[in-house]
Amino acid sequence: MQPIDLNPEPKGPWRWSVAQFERAVALGLFPEETRLELLAGELYERPMENPPHAYTIDTLYDLLARSLDLSTCFLRNQHALPLSIDSAPIPDIAVIAGRRLDFLQSHPRPEQVLLVVDVSDATLSQDRHAKAELYAEAGIQEYWIVNLSQRRLEVYRDPSGSEWGTNLKLPEQQSITPLCTPSVTIPIASLLPPRSS
């Protein structure tokens, strides 16, 4: 029998897996009104949406729905996207290759994710760092941050490891062509709320 160590070394914080987190949610271990996101084994509470944030997500969803060929892909709105054993970020919008019915029994795999978009104000630092790194590591080909405070679109492409080879910061006067639909050009201004008068 081993003696009990009365001064054990600290083991560090508990890290969640996606499976553990999904089980905890199914068991009702978190308050219903709590919006949680799992990033690299750690749980983060998502802030309550303010009206400009909600407006932008709805506008972006409608604009992409009109711009994409929805016979080959579909849009998801604020659903968890399991990328690894311990990460399931919740992008505001995700464009997924295939049909919605294809994912009745399983989540999309990273290679089926054509574009992820986060509308960002209070979570800008987390979106630029923790989430951007997770998306790059998973091999997501394109990540957009609609930066509300600076009224611009930040575009990340060419993932390699946890970094991006291309990082564009486009002001509202410019346009963007998504990699997944090269025949479409979207004015950045159309992604943003109208300026207050």
CATH of the domain at 153: 3.90.1570.10
Residue 7 maps to a domain = no
The whole-angstrom separation of Cα 88 and Cα 80 is 6
The whole-angstrom separation of Cα 180 and Cα 183 is 9
Residue 180 maps to a domain = yes
Q: Measuring CA to CA, which residue among 34, 154, 20 is closest to residue 90?
A: 34
pTM: 0.88
**pLDDT at residue 8, rounded to an integer:** 61
**pLDDT at residue 34, rounded to an integer:** 82
The whole-angstrom separation of Cα 23 and Cα 34 is 16
Residue 145 maps to a domain = yes
Residue 32 maps to a domain = no
Q: Among all chains, which residue has been given the structure tokens 């990460």? A: 87
Contact indicator for 51, 174 with CB cutoff of 8 Å = no
The structural domain count of the chain equals 1
**pLDDT at residue 10, rounded to an integer:** 62
Residue 18 maps to a domain = no
Residue 124 maps to a domain = yes
Domain housing 112:
49-191
Query: Within the chain, which residues score under 50 in pLDDT?
Result: none
The whole-angstrom separation of Cα 45 and Cα 190 is 29
Residue 172 maps to a domain = yes
Residue 41 maps to a domain = no
